[in-house]
Amino acid sequence: MIAAAQGWTKTDPVVICLGLTAMDHIWSVGLLPQDAGKSVAGGYVSGGGGMAATAAVAVAQLGGQAQFWGRAGQDSAGLAMKRELALDGVNVDQFRLFENARSSVSCVLVDPEGERLIVNFRGADLPQSPDWLNLEKVREADAVLVDPRWPEGAVAVLRAARDAGVPTVLDADVAEASVFETLLPLTDHAIFSEQALAQFAGPEGLEKLVKYGCQVAAVTRGAQGVDWIEAGQHRHHPAFDVDVVDTNGAGDVFHGAWAMAIGAGADSQSAAGFAAAAAALKCTRRNGRAGIPNFQQTLKLWRTLE
């Protein structure tokens, strides 16, 4: 269906997503807090979140074969996240729960305009070594996505992908400069948030990323769309005009959709349009992963602009 619809070369691409999984506790509030005090929430839900994990759910929802590779504690949050990912159609064979470790948990406040405030506990006592990962499985993938929250695991998977000729995507949210300096030379498609790019690259912006050898150096700009450099050319794809109610998870959906499109054989222009449409539709629905669209919904919106 995917290849027939878009002229892409692969159907049901296999996408490995490695990195963060977190249990999100989401409150709907009238105003995001500006200082200390008490607020009353109009609604509350909880469920799995995290950059790479939510990207994996997006891949599965959009029609790809998603695998999540990562770590969590063998606690209530870890058990719930692993079960939820499996129910969402994500392969969790390389998602390990560790005894005596603590899972990542997030508090997410969302206002009526869809803007959010996130406080994340990234977990504790999780092993850094990726020596338990079955890296031979990388050769079976059509694309690999990593985030910067487990650098040791990301390096191992990116190197395996480079050796196997599998295209790679970096979901580059805010992290230490040393992490990006390590991951960027191993990355084909580096896609930064505006905040992360400003902190890491400063005035140089995307030009700095190109120096690390990335084929595509991109930055997402919310309602202003996505900009990227490829083969020395500056390119842009606008955002879709939608009624935003919740931006939580939109960036993760964008990255997952981009990785799936690349895995299906799309070029960067198609990947940008497909990802922008998926992320825009997610913003029209509340509660993170519950708002991820399917392939046909994404294709319909994408065609309105293409």
pTM (two decimals): 0.93
Element (H, E) at 127: none
pLDDT of residue 305: 75
Domain that holds residue 144: 2-21+51-72+130-305
* Residue 13 falls inside a structural domain: yes
The residue count of the chain comes to 306
The answer as to whether 247 is a domain residue is yes
For the chain of 306 residues, list the mean pLDDT of each consecutive stretch of 10: 67 96 92 87 91 97 97 97 97 98 93 86 95 98 98 98 98 97 98 98 97 98 96 97 89 98 96 97 86 95 85
Classified as helix, coil or strand, 263 is: helix
Beta bridge partners of 23: 48, 105
In a domain, 125, yes or no: no
Residues 17, 52 contacting (CB under 8 angstroms) = yes
78 within domain boundaries: no
Pairwise CA distance, residues 160 & 141, whole Å: 11
Is 241 within a domain?
yes
Q: Residues 23, 106: contact at Cβ < 8 Å? A: yes
Does residue 254 form part of some domain? yes
Query: Distance between CA atoms of 119 and 24, rounded to whole angstroms?
Result: 10
- Cα separation, 187 vs 191, in Å, equals 10
Q: Does the residue 220 lie in any domain?
A: yes
Q: How many CB atoms lie within 10 A of CB 80?
A: 16
pLDDT value for 248? 81
- What pLDDT was estimated at residue 91? 98
Instruction: Domain count for the chain, please give it.
Output: 1
Q: Is residue 292 part of a domain?
A: yes
Single-letter code of the amino acid located at 55: A
Question: How far, in whole angstroms, is CA 95 from its chain's centroid?
Answer: 16
What is the CATH number for 162? 3.40.1190.20
Distance between CA atoms of residues 276 and 303, nearest Å: 12
